[in-house]
Amino acid sequence: MKTPYRFTLLSGLGTYCALLCLAVVLFRERMLFSDMAFQSFHIIRTGDLQVQSGRFGAVGTQFFPWVAQGLALPLRGVLLSYSLGHVLYYFLLFAWVMVVLRQWRWGLVLLLSSVLLTTHTFFWLSEAPQGLAFLVAVLAWMDSQTTLCGIRWWQWPLFLLALVTAFYFHPMVLYAMTFACVWLFFGQKDHGKRKIWATGLGLFILLFVVKFKILPLDWYDAMSLSRAGAFVELWPHWLDIKSNRDFAEWLWRDYYLLPAVYALSLGLLARRRQWLLFTWTLLFPLGYILLVNIPFHQGDNQFYLENLYLPLGLMVLLPLTQLLDTIPGRTEVIFAVIGLAILLRLGHIYTARAPWTARLQWLEQLVQQHRGPKTVINENDLPKDLLRFTWGIPYETLLLTSLPGPDSSRLFFQTTEITPKLDSLARQPNLFLGTFKHYRLETLPPRYFKPNPSVGYFFE
């Protein structure tokens, strides 16, 4: 077994085992927050998978809690399975790339992408990193093909389905695909391989046209596209904006390895005098940063923007892994440095838990201070800097109070104004008030949730 393959395989096993341990230790920080709490609640309530905004690739991680509740595991087991599933998903893709395809370079891209920028996105779990990992697996399969004609007839439907799935994970996957296919097209002289990269990119662009120009837009995608007007409004002041300053701060504090890998990739390309690839690698990531930052020029939560920055990992790691054997020095030393970088990032992910643990502790204090079975709290009094999002409180608190057992379930609802309609609803004893929709208590599975059905909400 050659050193690069063996190192990548063993490092992947060690890294994903470490991430699994973190997923167990920190499962409440991950699961009792906004989207994960909301999705967990609905998977348990309905017994079905919860695909939102057409991002059906999320089934890859939702499968784990869905099976857990189907097996009637306790609530802790369901939430643990969801937390673990967000690591097992990446590991299974890594195993497929390494063991089935035997593409160690892509395995290394996938492995390093899991930790290079990951800080707060370890705790706020979205479809973007899942889509990027799936895309890397698709690119690895494409790279394993020698010619376009060599792809068998039965593989084409699977290939097209994989491209559609990768695209529908998250819109930002398009830019990672564009960078990778263009880089690989010009990075090799084999015309057969070039046709594969050109075809993949062409199909991806076709998917973009169909989704955003032909089919009706999902409300979330429409909202995202509406931000594009900022490019015109801010010109020519694209650089002097808050989001750029925030990114520079986060780059120094959390994403410090990104500029190092970026500079190393550029240095290797310059050393080989591959100026076309050098220019592409230099400019595309910089343009992508502006593509993210300008629509969010007033700034936003770091965890949300980090999820949009993640394609930068692929953009700097692809050139590095393709040119890794051109780095001067012993192979063992080079991989030892990579191993130390992985350990550094694993430690960084663990230390990033502080604000998420503080948020969890605040939720625990909330349910301890208000011992009533159902409580309406004033949203204006909440520490929004600490909580980040407050819309998930009904689902977060229901899951938190139900962890000891279904008989301990208690309900909380946040509001900025008590209207006559809300007052009437809150006084109904058999109602769970949710942020987007209300549910009768008998629709909640008693195996997991048994809120008191005899009293209404108490107004704080």
Cβ proximity of 318 and 132 under 8 Å: no
Grouping H, G, I as helix, E, B as strand and the rest as coil, residue 425 is helix
The letter for the amino acid at 129 is P
Q: Are 325 and 440 part of one and the same domain?
A: no
Cβ proximity of 97 and 110 under 8 Å: yes
* Lookup: tokens for 333: 């030393």
Cβ proximity of 351 and 27 under 8 Å: no
Provide CB contacts within 8 A for 258, sequence distance 6+. Answer: 116, 117, 251, 312, 313, 316
2, pLDDT greater than 70:
no
Q: Are 320 and 343 part of one and the same domain?
A: yes
pLDDT at residue 189, as a whole number = 86
Least confident of 194-203, 225-234, 406-415: 225-234
pLDDT at residue 421, as a whole number = 94
Where is pLDDT greater, at 229 or 309? 309
d(CA 76, CA 448): 10
* Lookup: tokens for 304: 């949300």
- Residue 311, preceding bond cis, omega within 30 degrees? no
Q: Are 325 and 447 part of one and the same domain?
A: no
Cβ proximity of 297 and 242 under 8 Å: yes
Cβ proximity of 279 and 272 under 8 Å: no
- Of 293, 316, 351, the residue at which a domain comes to its end is 351
At how many degrees (to 10) do helices 155-169 and 173-186 cross? 130
d(CA 158, CA 14): 31
Q: Are 334 and 389 part of one and the same domain?
A: no
Cβ proximity of 53 and 221 under 8 Å: yes
pLDDT at residue 288, as a whole number = 97
Q: Are 234 and 182 part of one and the same domain?
A: yes
If pLDDT is split at 50, 70 and 90, which confidence band does 225 have? confident
Q: Are 212 and 326 part of one and the same domain?
A: yes
Cβ proximity of 374 and 452 under 8 Å: yes
Grouping H, G, I as helix, E, B as strand and the rest as coil, residue 216 is coil
- Of 351, 371, 399, the residue at which a domain comes to its end is 351
If pLDDT is split at 50, 70 and 90, which confidence band does 1 have? very low
Mean pLDDT computed over 426-449: 96
Q: Are 347 and 365 part of one and the same domain?
A: no
314, pLDDT greater than 90:
yes
336, pLDDT greater than 70:
yes
The DSSP letter of residue 342 is H
* Lookup: tokens for 209: 């046209």
Q: Are 68 and 21 part of one and the same domain?
A: yes
Where is pLDDT greater, at 261 or 227? 261
Q: Are 404 and 259 part of one and the same domain?
A: no
**Mean pLDDT for the chain overall:** 95
pLDDT at residue 276, as a whole number = 97
Largest CA distance in the chain: 76
Tell me the helix, strand and coil percentages in the chain, rounded to 5: 70, 5, 25
Backbone angles phi, psi at 18, to 5 degrees: -65, -45
| Segments forming the whole domain that contains residue 297 | 3-351
Q: Are 31 and 149 part of one and the same domain?
A: yes
Cβ proximity of 387 and 425 under 8 Å: no
Q: Are 76 and 144 part of one and the same domain?
A: yes
- Of 310, 326, 351, the residue at which a domain comes to its end is 351
Mean pLDDT computed over 343-368: 97
Mean pLDDT computed over 345-368: 97
Cβ proximity of 176 and 311 under 8 Å: yes
219, pLDDT greater than 70:
no
- Number of domains within the chain: 2
Q: Are 333 and 405 part of one and the same domain?
A: no
Least confident of 42-46, 332-336, 391-395: 332-336
The pTM for the full model equals 0.95
CB neighbour class for 182 (10 Å; exposed up to 12, middle 13-18, buried from 19): middle
